[in-house]
Structure 1
């Protein structure tokens, strides 16, 4: 029979090991966050899971699924929660709003703000709110306030907030989040754009939001008023385009023919590394870039490269498309970036894509080269361009140094 003491001892040991792993991964930057992770009993927020799963640094745990089996709410991996907490730079005494309630992250925030601070966690799902409340109480964090709300409107009755941390994939930034931050306020949000998601740490500069901090992440999409679904446009059996802008039109019949046409290979002569930075550069370099998804069957047949399995930025022009691939090449440091292109304009789109690869490798191949500014605009007025990602309520302006 397993006793409570044995469970507590095992959990404490696994928690310490998780902290060590997070240090080795380089995501733990501050002692305050490390102490919080070492203190909060994560397993009490992962009811029904094995202790080893609860304390796996890179494992997200699904809390609730819809009727189709898609995740609606999850306990995010500690790794990404730590990344966002480090981006937030929470200090004792702060007022913090968490958008999306799993309970565990709110407990970490409670440790960071201390007894003089305030943590409010909000969720649109009453079942999730009830669960978060029960888990927080069981773990000894009764002082955290749990609110049922569509967080697209913020939580005005508890505002202003020194930090707002969003733990769901947002497609846009509603005015309430900007309006409910204090003068020293910071918004940390996983923002979806052109098929990818990055966690940005935005500070207010006049009416705009500016971020030089961004990290790779993945979250279940926002529900409620802020919900937005990208188009998944079938092209051929086993091939689809994930499209951010609902207004874009594509010649799917011509693209379907191009998929099975002979492919053109163009090699850039530059190194392939830092794929998450390269991906962000590609999707913010032209509005014609969409995400190409392909099946394993087509990869196994040699029709498409393995990069399509998880989605890869693809440049589409008429009935032609080009996308990134790689090959071993010691002369470029291990791997070389290249382009596969299909269709009657394959040479044209391949040349454009290869030039982007070379430009990134020559001018921007490092972490933190992008600067992102969110500019509020009248609804629907933003126009996409080379470095402007249009949103409903504003635009993301992306510059590279």
Structure 2
């Protein structure tokens, strides 16, 4: 089994190289070394070494995942963002064990790794797996990560492996002067792994990657609003103060849709969605059922969730169609409601602006500014959080 596991690890490293997830030889060496199957207890070897497969560790009574062993692909992407060097002190938030072992390989004998989790069962499991794999030096702590781990601070890197809605003050307090926080931050229904460095007024980043994680538990937990508009259609919103004309929107759903095309290329959907979702606080994530798509009420994009511009009792959302003149696909919108034309025009303007000015990887610069609790206000380019504000500018 050891030979087969080693062969599968080597194949996984090659795959991650080919995908562009691994770019450094030090990380490639760590992935080639750590026996991931010892952290994927009771899973087949091929599942343990599938680069894009997350493995659920624990579910609640309703079947919702509470903890998981993240896909190696996203783990190495975040570790590349972290740029960990030998001798560093690293705090991992969320304990699966495997990621902490990779970090231990990167920091070496002169570094230190602390992994914290709120769940005693997960902490015990991580401890057992790390010991079995030979990583006794990793410290595993049971605690609410919202408070960090002050007794082991300061940290040169804080790597968060759970979906966080905000950045607790303790993480900033426990970060070293030139430290970096890599965090899957949730913003208006989207999640991006953002590598934040210290700046004069908080944190700043130009490194962000698409990702998805189990939500944070404990004091940092946050429940987005799920607003039912009509049967099979709803909005997901993270601003608890935002009001909606539900009756008007329900009527709009039943009204004929207006179809408008931008003449602009549709490309890089994860970058485009971040641009759309953060361009105005009137954007919410629209989710619709396959039944409504099959009935011709909505376009296919709503089944995955799509940024929708919601104004009063009208809304518009993004779609696409084949168009070789725009490089393969063209972006457009469907709009519903009494002000469909005006809402569609605003959305089309955003699509054209994206295509002409920002259509590339890494066009966003993301800042996090701590603010007195509850004072941040959402506006164009600003996503309000409880403890601060996320400011996104595009170049």
TM-score (ref. length: structure 1): 0.98
For 2:17 and 2:170, the matched residues in 1 are separated by 35
Give a deviation string over 1:227-279, Cα, whole Å, max 9, x none.
Answer: 00100001111001001100011111111121121100010001101000000
Give a deviation string over 1:124-145, Cα, whole Å, max 9, x none.
Answer: 0000000000000000101100
2:220 is aligned to 226
1:53 is aligned to 47
For 1:33 and 1:193, the matched residues in 2 are separated by 29
For 2:201 and 2:255, the matched residues in 1 are separated by 49
- Partner of residue 34 from structure 1, selected from 19, 25, 28: 28
Q: What pairs with 1:262-301 in structure 2 (closer than 5 Å)?
A: 262-301=256-295
- Partner of residue 20 from structure 1, selected from 8, 14, 31: 14
2:181 aligned with 1:183? no
For 1:250 and 1:328, the matched residues in 2 are separated by 33
1:207 Cα offset (Å): 3.4
2:327 aligned with 1:336? no
For 2:92 and 2:358, the matched residues in 1 are separated by 33
For 1:23 and 1:11, the matched residues in 2 are separated by 18
- Partner of residue 356 from structure 2, selected from 362, 368, 372: 362
1:251 is aligned to 245
Give a deviation string over 1:338-388, Cα, whole Å, max 9, x none.
Answer: 101111111011000010000000000000000011000000110110011
1:184 Cα offset (Å): 1.8
- Partner of residue 298 from structure 2, selected from 283, 295, 304: 304
Q: SS state of the match for residue 315, structure 2? A: strand
Structure 2 gaps of 5+ residues are none
1:301 Cα offset (Å): 1.2
2:394 aligned with 1:400? yes
1:156 is aligned to 150
- Partner of residue 390 from structure 1, selected from 384, 387, 393: 384
Give a deviation string over 1:183-227, Cα, whole Å, max 9, x none.
Answer: 121000000010000000000012310001000000011000000
For 1:120 and 1:372, the matched residues in 2 are separated by 27
Q: SS state of the match for residue 279, structure 2? A: coil
2:113 aligned with 1:119? yes
2:8 aligned with 1:8? no
For 1:13 and 1:271, the matched residues in 2 are separated by 42
Q: Which runs of 4+ in 1 moved over 3 A?
A: none
CA RMSD in angstroms comes to 0.6
1:157 Cα offset (Å): 0.3
For 1:229 and 1:51, the matched residues in 2 are separated by 35
2:56 aligned with 1:62? yes
TM-score (ref. length: structure 2): 0.99
Give a deviation string over 1:7-60, Cα, whole Å, max 9, x none.
Answer: 111111111111111111111111111111111011110001111111111111
1:168 is aligned to 162
How many pairs align? 395
Q: SS state of the match for residue 260, structure 2? A: strand
For 2:293 and 2:73, the matched residues in 1 are separated by 31
For 1:62 and 1:293, the matched residues in 2 are separated by 25
Q: SS state of the match for residue 293, structure 1? A: strand
Q: SS state of the match for residue 284, structure 1? A: helix
Give a deviation string over 1:264-295, Cα, whole Å, max 9, x none.
Answer: 00100011010000000001100000000001
Q: SS state of the match for residue 267, structure 2? A: coil
- Partner of residue 314 from structure 2, selected from 301, 320, 325: 320
1:76 is aligned to 70
